[in-house]
Structure 1
């Protein structure tokens, strides 16, 4: 029997089974037929049966469990990367969102899709699936492996992006130099959406693993100071002045890497303080809000490309509100100026304690790297002195590439 005849026969059989409400048999028929057609290199027909199988999942109100997930992943592992496979991926994600009641869908399914796309170097497409696999949800489980897999993908993407950039017209730097410039971009790219969605433990796991991977590849990212890394010391406050935490800061010559670490440290501090606050109106103390504002001001000075980085500009007001109780700007004029005005003039709001999740961040592929490389000798872009116990050095390097973001599925 030819592929066309087999496809038509199986689809007709499945339709009849669905009419009789024999959903399990219909699903099995479509699954086996899809696999058989893939083995015959009939991608379109195979994916059509797969799409119908997922449609039957919805009719049956099939939950996401090992068997239902495995059928989908078996099919995706056989499909070639074309628009047919994309249709199956989109349908599978939509089914898992509906079946789990989580806006991010099933973490294992999202992680499988993310790894599948990353293995094909489709990093930009895999990004939103990695983020979704990391996000916490009361209706699903958390995958401890997802943030580490996400950080490995980001490093692989950084390496490939840097190698490709050496082929740009007029580019005279080697890929290692470009990696050192762009490392912070890719760290922020993964960190910001996780923080915006209050995935704090996942954000920390992602960033720590990414920095360890990046500094192992590019040891000159680290400043020649001892100790490095060193414990984070919270900003001055009567209750925290002499205390350190288990958070380690890697002192680097990269403004974006330093900002990402300090942002995570201050957010962690805010969450811990609010959790210990007995008041029904849990608001960040003034000294912590001031520390956050100082960090943002410093980052604005050191990373000139922030003006072009829509993703960072979009997320910072969210972080300011949900962690530090600073109202977001009311008008979207100059985003950075408005955000800074909000930081200085905003007031705490009880509504800031409620999460809007998931917050989708629009992301575009990385553009051409900056023409300047951070200098480890200059000590550029160290975290604020009051938080590290170490005075900042002078020269600041402007970084001119987009930190970019894609809307999560």
Structure 2
């Protein structure tokens, strides 16, 4: 809780903003916060800067508000503020006030993730923040950055990834929509995240309602299980993604190799897919990766986040594998 002196200063600054004295208020917020930081009174500085950023943005002074928002993140780092619900809520609240076209938003997002990487427990940044940012980009129909953030998010992120893939494929009028979700599934499996891959795939099927061939394949989720039926889709990429997803949950290295061989022509037409499958084979079945220079998964993800698959790569694969492959 800020002291009475701080609250009095805040009220004075709020009045200045309400009266339209935006430049004066902005400079005073910075001056007082700088003084608090020099005294290592980081809690007071954060309270002041957050309040000022909110007030200025609510008055559509977005550049000044963004400056204070970023100064708040600088103070988070100065004070070694840990990532918790309260500190993260401030970050998200300010982010929600940014217009999508405000130039300062990109730097604010970058600084926010930098803080969560330094003072949180996740190397890629806080999953809840990734979920918020990825969902925000999805609603703005910015599918590439949405996918980038949602891949390292929460359960909600995984379900949203299914929606992203379905919407992205629709916007691109893709003849093989399954390619979009296959890419998501393989990236998640390369990170050994079966749970999120399953959530994303299931949500895609629900959103896209893809056509089936009218036939079914029998699969076994474990060698001793009774066979279960799975729909066979007209889109071969959906069948391939589903079969890989089921195979990695079993001790079925031979079946994985057989799958790769069967769908090899498809994968060879998509840049980076063989490398993703190499990663999947390594993390689930200890299959040594071919010796190549560089981090292929990282390179692939960077290229994918730059945009959707090239139009040439979106053409329907006509070589049908409609019958699927029995997992027994």
Are residues 1:382 and 2:322 paired? yes
Higher RCO, 1 or 2 (CA under 8 Å, sep at least 6)?
1
The one of 106, 114, 119 aligned to 1:99: 119
The one of 213, 220, 236 aligned to 1:223: 213
How far is 1:373 from its partner?
Answer: 4.4
In the alignment, structure 1 segments of 5+ residues that lack a partner are 134-142, 163-177, 271-287, 336-356, 389-409
The one of 129, 140, 147 aligned to 1:120: 140
The one of 90, 99, 106 aligned to 1:86: 106
Q: TM-score, normalised by structure 1?
A: 0.68
Q: 1:4 to 1:128 in 2, by over 3 A?
A: same
Q: Residues of 1 paired with 2:192 and 2:315: CA distance? A: 33
Q: 1:360 to 1:96 in 2, by over 3 A?
A: farther
**Counterpart of 1:212?**
206
8 Å Cα contact 1:51-1:91 kept in structure 2: yes
Are residues 1:129 and 2:149 paired? yes
Q: Residues of 1 paired with 2:272 and 2:230: CA distance? A: 23
CA RMSD, 1 decimal: 2.6
Q: TM-score, normalised by structure 2?
A: 0.84
**Counterpart of 2:307?**
365
How far is 1:231 from its partner?
Answer: 5.1
**Counterpart of 2:131?**
111
8 Å Cα contact 2:176-2:317 kept in structure 1: no
In the alignment, structure 2 segments of 5+ residues that lack a partner are 1-15
Q: Residues of 2 paired with 1:370 and 1:84: CA distance? A: 35
Deviations 1:195-222 (A, max 9, x none): 111111111111122123222xx4xx21
**Larger helix share, 1 or 2:** 2
The one of 281, 284, 300 aligned to 2:264: 300
Q: 1:84 to 1:371 in 2, by over 3 A?
A: closer
Deviations 1:155-182 (A, max 9, x none): 22222222xxxxxxxxxxxxxxx3xx23
Q: Residues of 1 paired with 2:263 and 2:317: CA distance? A: 14
**Counterpart of 1:13?**
32
8 Å Cα contact 2:176-2:316 kept in structure 1: no
**Counterpart of 1:155?**
166
Q: Residues of 2 paired with 1:193 and 1:372: CA distance? A: 21
Q: 1:372 to 1:196 in 2, by over 3 A?
A: closer
**Counterpart of 1:347?**
none
8 Å Cα contact 1:182-1:369 kept in structure 2: no
Q: Residues of 1 paired with 2:128 and 2:227: CA distance? A: 32
After the TM superposition, which residues 49-60 of structure 1 pair with which residues of structure 2 at under 5 Å, given as runs?
Answer: 49-60=68-79
Partner-residue secondary structure (3-state), 1:51:
helix
Q: 1:206 to 1:34 in 2, by over 3 A?
A: same
After the TM superposition, which residues 25-64 of structure 1 pair with which residues of structure 2 at under 5 Å, given as runs?
Answer: 25-64=44-83
8 Å Cα contact 2:192-2:284 kept in structure 1: no
Partner-residue secondary structure (3-state), 1:310:
coil
8 Å Cα contact 1:193-1:360 kept in structure 2: no
Are residues 1:188 and 2:182 paired? yes
Structure 1 range deviating more: 26-35 or 146-155: 146-155
How far is 1:90 from its partner?
Answer: 0.8
Q: 1:36 to 1:361 in 2, by over 3 A?
A: same
**Counterpart of 1:326?**
287
Q: Which runs of 4+ in 1 moved over 4 A?
A: 357-360, 369-375
How far is 1:261 from its partner?
Answer: 0.6
